[in-house]
Amino acid sequence: MNDPYLLAIDIGTTNTKAALFRPDGTVVSAASRRHSISSPREGFAEHDAERVWWAETAAVCAELTAAGGVAEKIAAVAVSTLSPALLPVDKAGNALYPAMLYNLDRRSVKELEELGEHFPVGQLSTGPKILWLKRHEPELFDATACFVGAPTFLVNKLTGNMVADHACYTIAGMPYDAEHMRWDETMCAACGVTPELLPELKYGVEIGGYVTPEAAKATGLRAGTPVSVGTGDFPAECCSFGTVYAHSVRLTFGTTVGVNFGYNSSDPLFRDYDYAASMAARPKRRGGAMPNGCSTVDWAIRLISGPGNEPLPDERLLALYESVPAGANGVTLLPFLNGGNGAPLYRPEAKGVLFGLENRHAHGEIYRAALEGLAYSVRMLLDPKPGENNEAVAMAGGIRIPGLLQTVSDVTGYTLTPLPAFNNALVGDAFLAGMACGMFSGLEDVNAWLNVGEPVRPNPANREVYDRGFEVFKKLCDAMTSAL
């Protein structure tokens, strides 16, 4: 195949993105679509899988393959998605119910508490959501042929195969047994299912199937094109820097913000994954995923942009940020706008709070407080230790938000090395596609694609004000959760 392409697709919380890559990492073309979360009831966070995940995937594929001869050049396809989500499907792979989105969806708090008395279960686990469906939608539950996540749903739409990768469920947990890398029958029974109602487990670098004639008509892809098993967006992002920063502290700034201590979350994508060794090397207490991540900053930008207005341009946001001193003139934002059902509070009833407002405050204070509230949350998860090598890499689209990296660096005391990429998840997807079709042999093949930005270092002049601000932030978190 002359001048082969790799097709990368990523479904996020608010965007569907796709790009064609050459084997050297060059981006040939890209396409995207925007969507939103549906919240029909308090605590619900959903996507219409057919309308959002599949229709938008088909649309971006059709856009990228519209030019003659492009589809024939695509050597393989890989998909990453928001993860974990839960979607019940029928035998044909059609969605039977809206998808329940990771820890943004808080309807199964009771089930989480009950299962947590007997099993290792967390805010991201799909098990409590399965049990919630069994209790509250019994007819739908009985009609379900398989409970899947977004990667499985899309790979099934493209290939007809119902497969899932280990990496997604290593993160999601129950009813997955991460130590033995299989579905756990006891945990499945507690959720009312059997392993037969869950996808076949494989590795993200493996071939999940081949594009069917039906999918080819919908997407413009060539029938028979290999499709990798795929993975979640975070493991895909971790592939984007190859092996260079595999053991570094990593901050991922997306709708959800991830804080990870050098545990290589991309490892379960490969056949030689040693779970016991990886977990032994991973700190047990620190890190986590914050559903109230850059989405909180997006909220603040919409608020100060005015009703019906386009978001303020970056230069205007930077000017607002620079017009207000560290500490936002006494304004503090608790960034739990989607509820606190996730790091760093793990309190589903938590709410957002804008504290300390006076009539002298304006847009600059609100914007700066949003950045600082996010940074304080990151500091809670990093939990910096005296004498530690306080350095981390920062990636994903949020690193471009004006003032964000400097604020996080100042608040945490960490030096941040940005890894600007066209799109980290899409770069990781291109790698997975290359592995699936035999174009690549290992993660080190991506090292040459890596783009490293100038480090962002903490400003010592802001240390004292942010140490005080952090103590205020923690007291406000305690007061807010106590009042609920």
Instruction: Please tell me whether residues 58 and 149 are part of one structural domain.
Output: yes
Closest CA to 76 of 268, 217, 204, 214: 204
What pLDDT shows up at residue 232? 94
Q: Worst-scoring range by mean pLDDT, 119-133, 146-160, 315-329, 352-366?
A: 119-133
pLDDT at 387 over 90: no
**Is 251 a member of any domain?**
no
What pLDDT shows up at residue 275? 64
Strand pairing class (15-21; 27-34): antiparallel
DSSP string, 239-251: HTTTTTTTTSEEE
pLDDT at 286 over 80: no
What pLDDT shows up at residue 2? 80
Taking only Cα atoms into account, the Rg of the chain, rounded to an integer number of angstroms, comes to 22
Q: How far is CA 366 from CA 324, 332, 384, 458, in A?
A: 10, 8, 26, 22
Q: What is the dihedral of CA 64, 66, 70, 72, to 10 degrees?
A: 110
Q: Sorting pLDDT into bands at 50, 70 and 90, what band is 264?
A: low
Q: Sorting pLDDT into bands at 50, 70 and 90, what band is 309?
A: low
Residues spanned by the domain of 338: 290-418+456-483
What pLDDT shows up at residue 261? 81
Instruction: Please tell me whether residues 310 and 188 are part of one structural domain.
Output: no
What pLDDT shows up at residue 272? 73
What pLDDT shows up at residue 194? 97
- The percentage of residues in the chain with a pLDDT greater than 90, rounded to a whole number, is 75
Query: E strands, 286-412, where?
Result: 288-290, 332-334, 353-355, 391-395
Model pLDDT for residues 398-453, shown as the tens digit of each residue: 999 999 999 999 999 999 999 998 899 999 999 999 999 999 999 999 999 999 99
Model pLDDT for residues 322-367, shown as the tens digit of each residue: 999 999 999 999 999 876 767 888 887 888 999 999 999 999 999 9
pLDDT at 265 over 60: no
284-309: average pLDDT = 84
Instruction: Please tell me whether residues 301 and 227 are part of one structural domain.
Output: no
Q: Output b/e per residue, 417-431; b: 16+ Cβ within 10 A.
A: bbbebbbbbbbbbbb
**Is 262 a member of any domain?**
no
16-42: average pLDDT = 96
Instruction: Please tell me whether residues 231 and 303 are part of one structural domain.
Output: no
Q: Sorting pLDDT into bands at 50, 70 and 90, what band is 284?
A: low
Place of tokens 């029909």: 40
Closest CA to 430 of 21, 65, 70: 21
Which domain-ending residue is among 171, 205, 235?
Answer: 235
Domain harbouring 355, CATH code: 3.30.420.40
Model pLDDT for residues 162-175, shown as the tens digit of each residue: 999 999 998 888 99
Looking at the 3D structure of the chain, how many domains does it have?
A: 2
Instruction: Please tell me whether residues 356 and 228 are part of one structural domain.
Output: no
**Is 276 a member of any domain?**
no
Helix 294-305, helix 363-382: angle, nearest 10? 180
The strand pairing partners of 47, in sequence order, are 99
Instruction: Please tell me whether residues 182 and 42 are part of one structural domain.
Output: yes
Place of tokens 């975070």: 234
**Is 446 a member of any domain?**
no
- Rounded to an integer, what distance in angstroms lies between the CA atom of residue 226 and that of residue 262? 32
293-309: average pLDDT = 89
Helices (H) and strands (E) in the chain, counts: 17, 22
What pLDDT shows up at residue 436? 96
Q: Sorting pLDDT into bands at 50, 70 and 90, what band is 455?
A: very high
Q: Sorting pLDDT into bands at 50, 70 and 90, what band is 111?
A: very high
**Is 440 a member of any domain?**
no
Q: Sorting pLDDT into bands at 50, 70 and 90, what band is 234?
A: confident
Q: Sorting pLDDT into bands at 50, 70 and 90, what band is 283?
A: low
Place of tokens 């009703």: 307
Model pLDDT for residues 65-92, shown as the tens digit of each residue: 999 899 999 999 999 999 999 999 999 9
Please check whether residue 21 is in contact with residue 28, taking contact to mean a CB–CB distance below 8 angstroms.
Answer: yes
What pLDDT shows up at residue 170? 87
Q: Sorting pLDDT into bands at 50, 70 and 90, what band is 382?
A: very high
26: helix, coil or strand? Answer: coil
Instruction: Please tell me whether residues 231 and 300 are part of one structural domain.
Output: no
Please check whether residue 175 is in contact with residue 184, taking contact to mean a CB–CB distance below 8 angstroms.
Answer: yes
Instruction: Please tell me whether residues 224 and 342 are part of one structural domain.
Output: no
Instruction: Please tell me whether residues 225 and 301 are part of one structural domain.
Output: no
Please check whether residue 85 is in contact with residue 164, taking contact to mean a CB–CB distance below 8 angstroms.
Answer: no
27-53: average pLDDT = 96
What pLDDT shows up at residue 103? 84
Model pLDDT for residues 190-226, shown as the tens digit of each residue: 999 999 999 999 999 999 999 999 999 999 999 999 9
**Is 83 a member of any domain?**
yes
Q: Worst-scoring range by mean pLDDT, 51-65, 148-162, 248-262, 280-294?
A: 280-294
What pLDDT shows up at residue 277? 64
Residue 67 CA, distance from chain mean position: 31
Q: How far is CA 278 from CA 69, 259, 263, 384, in A?
A: 44, 17, 7, 22
**Residue 257 carries which side chain, given as an amino acid letter?**
V
What pLDDT shows up at residue 263? 56
**Is 389 a member of any domain?**
yes
54-64: average pLDDT = 98
Which domain-ending residue is among 235, 255, 278?
Answer: 235
Instruction: Please tell me whether residues 192 and 51 are part of one structural domain.
Output: yes
Maximum alpha-carbon separation in the chain: 65
Which domain-ending residue is among 193, 209, 235?
Answer: 235
| Range among 124-138, 248-262, 265-279 rated most confident | 124-138
Instruction: Please tell me whether residues 109 and 191 are part of one structural domain.
Output: yes
146-167: average pLDDT = 97
Q: Sorting pLDDT into bands at 50, 70 and 90, what band is 276?
A: low
Please check whether residue 437 is in contact with residue 76, taking contact to mean a CB–CB distance below 8 angstroms.
Answer: yes
What pLDDT shows up at residue 288? 83
- Is 309 or 22 the better-scoring residue by pLDDT? 22
Instruction: Please tell me whether residues 326 and 223 are part of one structural domain.
Output: no
**Is 325 a member of any domain?**
yes
Q: Sorting pLDDT into bands at 50, 70 and 90, what band is 242?
A: confident
Residues 6+ apart with CB under 8 A from 390: 384, 412, 413, 414, 415
